[in-house]
Structure 1
Amino acid sequence: MSLPRKTIFIILAFFAIYVIWGSTYLLNKIAVSQLPPFFLASIRFLIASIIIFLIAKSLKVSLLISKRQLINTTIAGFLFLTLGNGLAVLALKYIDSGFAALEISAQPLVVLIMMRILHGKRIALMSFIGVVLGFIGIFLLVSQKEIITKEGQILGMVLIFACMLSWAYASIFVGKANLPSNHFVNTGYQMLTGSLMLGITSLCLGETWSLPNTWHSDVQWSMLGLIVFGSIIAFTAFNYLLKEVSPEKVATSTYVNPIIALLLGWWVLNEQITTQSIVAAVILLTGVYFINTKRTFKPRSVGR
């Protein structure tokens, strides 16, 4: 029996945010070695938004949206891309790509706690266990002496935490906001507005802008991967999932992202993977699993 079309789309979308986004840590790390972070992110999302709009027009999809939808896509673009992605790329100037992915893997904890604070959503027992495990994993990850003694490491950790807060709030906001129903249009406007704000930030910070023909070949290939796979495919899939499943489930992309990022960082950039980082990853990702599980404990009846 064949799967329903919607189920297939959801599976493919999860594959995109799980695997493709796991590789973007490496691509961003390579690109930020030569390009300023906010300039890098601005160019990436500006080009991606233009391509997305061209695809939408070729499919005869209307690009017209209401004023409220424009405001909401601008807010989402600011939270997801200007703050979220911009700070994450900036952090990669100071910390390894695999370490950044591991720290971001705690995002489901942030989403869960934020939903509790903002919407009063009850934290189930299994999720509570997951939160405890998550905090233990994060503590083990960031308390390593060989990591925190390196220059810029603490700043990088703080930037990643700020990025997580922005993405978590944005995930909750997008789940309830009035946004364009077409996912290409929704993604395109978020990227366009986010890229413009990233560009303004870059100019305000005095970053040096450059043309692609002056970039190293590895940076050019990394930017191409970020635009086509990380932006157009994965971010469109991300926005699709936020409308189809709960924010907590979407946030579980952090199961696979850090594993992909760790392996790629180790294989391509010779980044160090410590034993404590592996232990922290196992505990933290186990916590994320508990947060996502639907299993509940039922009290057993006692015989009389």
Structure 2
Amino acid sequence: MSQLNKLSVSGLFHLCIVYILWGSTYLAIRVAVQDGSGFPPMIMSATRVFAGSLILMALAKFIYKQSLRLTYDEFVVLFISGLALWWGGNGLLAIAETTVSSGYAALIISCTPIWVALIESILDKKRPTFFLVGSLLVSIAGISVLNWPAIHAGNLSDLWGALLLIIAGLSWAAGSIYQKRKNVQSSPEVSSAFQQLFGGIALLITSFIISEPAINPISSAWWAWGYLIVFGSVIAFTSFVKALKLLPPNVVFTYAFINPVVAVLLGFLILKEPITQWTLSGAFLVIIGVLGIFKEQKTKLNYVKENDID
């Protein structure tokens, strides 16, 4: 038990950073790409991750004295996962948020742990445990309750935006599992830097292909863009990579359940949005679901440990 707790401390610390910072990035993305912001979504995403990549490379090279050289296998893994995470995941999210609200985007992306469980079950040829499925369903129920007023009022986004968000969640889940299973030896800073570099190149190429207009951001869009670079691309993403190294994917992806709660709190504090009984009820269910996933993973690890001892 003490070994498990010791192993989890660092991973849980980085996961908490992901909880808070990535929960706020939905709002920042919406501010950066909404109508009239002057920032096309692909250009915004590409310049954001390029800047984040340069910062991480500088930190790795000059502060942490790490090598930026990759082996061929590392190049392949980071290239594929970078495309899945930043082009397929973040890029499609940015496009979707030009038409859908940040809260709705967070609701759809919160299904990512389900995609993780399904993908891992397929790869391992195992059925998800009843406890895990139950925990996921409770969390999804909490997210639904959290967003029930908007759903009841009929404020749903178009099907195209929803489809993009579903694909984005699937892409992020697949890229993360692929990276986790390939066990890249380079540091989290170097891994994050190259993933963002490769993803940024793909985003930029896509921007040219679809002929996005020239950028002319307003001040709020610039501020949101800067926030996404420092807190989203650098700090939070590095913590995400570290958490993946230290914790099981199903636990790491519980951040998707916390993000909508963070978004609601930010809306209350910054945009003066009300917190209703739906908000409190949904938040309670989300937390219960997250705790259930942690307990399921802990039980599984204890079972493996006991069998190893025997």
TM-score (norm: length of structure 2): 0.83
Counterpart of 1:301 in structure 2 is: none
Counterpart of 2:134 in structure 1 is: 129
Structure 2 residue 40 is the aligned partner of structure 1 residue 36: yes
Does the residue aligned with 1:256 lie in a helix, a strand or coil?
helix
Aligned structure 1 segments of 4 or more residues deviating by more than 4 angstroms: 4-8, 134-143, 269-285
CA distance in 2, matches of 1:118, 1:147: 38
TM-score (norm: length of structure 1): 0.84
Amino acid at match of 1:228: V
Counterpart of 1:230 in structure 2 is: 232
Counterpart of 1:92 in structure 2 is: 97
Structure 2 residue 217 is the aligned partner of structure 1 residue 209: no
Does the residue aligned with 1:259 lie in a helix, a strand or coil?
helix
Out of 163, 167, 176, which is 2:168 matched to? 163
Shift of 1:134: 4.8
Seen in structure 2, the aligned counterparts of structure 1 residues 111 and 272 have a Cα distance that, compared at 3 Å, is farther
- Quick check: 65-74 or 278-287, which moved more? 278-287
State whether residues 103 and 138 of structure 1, in contact with CA within 8 Å, keep that contact through their aligned partners in structure 2: no
Shift of 1:125: 2.5
| CA deviation vs aligned residue, 1:136-157 (integer Å, no higher than 9, x gap) | 5566658924245x5x433222
State whether residues 257 and 286 of structure 2, in contact with CA within 8 Å, keep that contact through their aligned partners in structure 1: no
Amino acid at match of 1:30: V
Structure 2 residue 106 is the aligned partner of structure 1 residue 105: no
Counterpart of 2:13 in structure 1 is: 12
Seen in structure 2, the aligned counterparts of structure 1 residues 271 and 87 have a Cα distance that, compared at 3 Å, is farther
Shift of 1:278: 6.2
1:131-146 paired onto structure 2 within 5 Å = 131-134=136-139, 136=141, 144-146=151-153
Seen in structure 2, the aligned counterparts of structure 1 residues 88 and 29 have a Cα distance that, compared at 3 Å, is same
State whether residues 10 and 246 of structure 2, in contact with CA within 8 Å, keep that contact through their aligned partners in structure 1: no
CA distance in 1, matches of 2:164, 2:49: 20
Shift of 1:13: 1.1
- Quick check: 281-290 or 43-52, which moved more? 281-290
Seen in structure 2, the aligned counterparts of structure 1 residues 253 and 55 have a Cα distance that, compared at 3 Å, is same
Out of 159, 162, 180, which is 1:175 matched to? 180
Seen in structure 2, the aligned counterparts of structure 1 residues 78 and 195 have a Cα distance that, compared at 3 Å, is same
Amino acid at match of 1:263: L
- Quick check: 95-104 or 191-200, which moved more? 95-104
Shift of 1:57: 1.2
Counterpart of 1:51 in structure 2 is: 55
* Percentage of identical aligned residues: 32
Shift of 1:158: 2.0
- Quick check: 75-84 or 266-275, which moved more? 266-275
1:224-303 paired onto structure 2 within 5 Å = 224-269=226-271, 282-283=284-285, 286-294=288-296
State whether residues 188 and 241 of structure 2, in contact with CA within 8 Å, keep that contact through their aligned partners in structure 1: yes
Give aligned pairs, total.
Answer: 289
State whether residues 139 and 286 of structure 2, in contact with CA within 8 Å, keep that contact through their aligned partners in structure 1: yes
Structure 2: which 5+ runs fail to align? 301-310
CA distance in 2, matches of 1:227, 1:169: 23
Seen in structure 2, the aligned counterparts of structure 1 residues 139 and 222 have a Cα distance that, compared at 3 Å, is closer
- RMSD, aligned CA: 2.8
Shift of 1:206: 0.7
